[in-house]
Chain A
Amino acid sequence: MRSFLSVITFTICVAPVSAQPKDKQTDFAHEVVPLLKTKCTKCHTNGTYKGGVSFDTREALVKSKAVVPGKSAMSELHKRVVTRDADLRMPPGKAEPLTAKEAATLAKWIDDGLPWEPGFTFKPATYVAPLKPRKVNVPAAKPGLEHPIDRILDAYYTANKVTPPAQLDDFSFMRRAYLDLIGLPPSADEYYEQEGSLADLRRPALVRKLLNENRAYADHWLAFWNDALRNEYRGTGYIDGGRKQITAWLYQSLIENKPYDKFARELISPTPNSEGFAKGIKWRGEVNASQIVELQFAQNVGQVFFGANLKCASCHDSFIDNWKLADAYGMAAIIADKPLAVHRCDKPTGATASAKFLFPELGTIDTNAPKTKRLEQLAALITHPDNGRFSRTMVNRVWHRLMGRGIVHPVDVMGNKPWSEDLLDYLAVYFSDNGYDIKKLIEHIATSQAYQSKAVPLAKEIAGDGYVFRGPELKRLSAEQFLDAIWMLTSTAPVAKSGAFPGTLPPFPATTPKERQFIRVTLVDCDPLMRSLGRPNREQVVTTRPEQLSTLQALDLANGQILTTTLERGAANILKANPKATPDELAEWVFVRALARKPTEGERTAAKSLLGDKPTTESVADLLWAVVMLPEFQLVR
Chain B
Amino acid sequence: MSGSEGLVVEGLAVRYGRVEVVHGVDFRALPGQVTCLVGNNGAGKTTTIRGVLGLQSSRARRVTFDGHNLSGMPPHAVARRGIALVPEGRRVFADLTVLENLRMGAVRRSGGWRDTTTLGEVYELFPELSERGESRAGLLSGGQQQMLAMGRAMMARPEMLVLDEPSMGLSPVLVNRIYEALVALRDQGFTILLSEQNANLALELADHAYILETGRVVEDGVAADLADSARVRAIYLGA
Are A and B associated in one complex? no
Which residues of B does A touch, CB under 8 Å? none
Which residues of A does B touch, CB under 8 Å? none
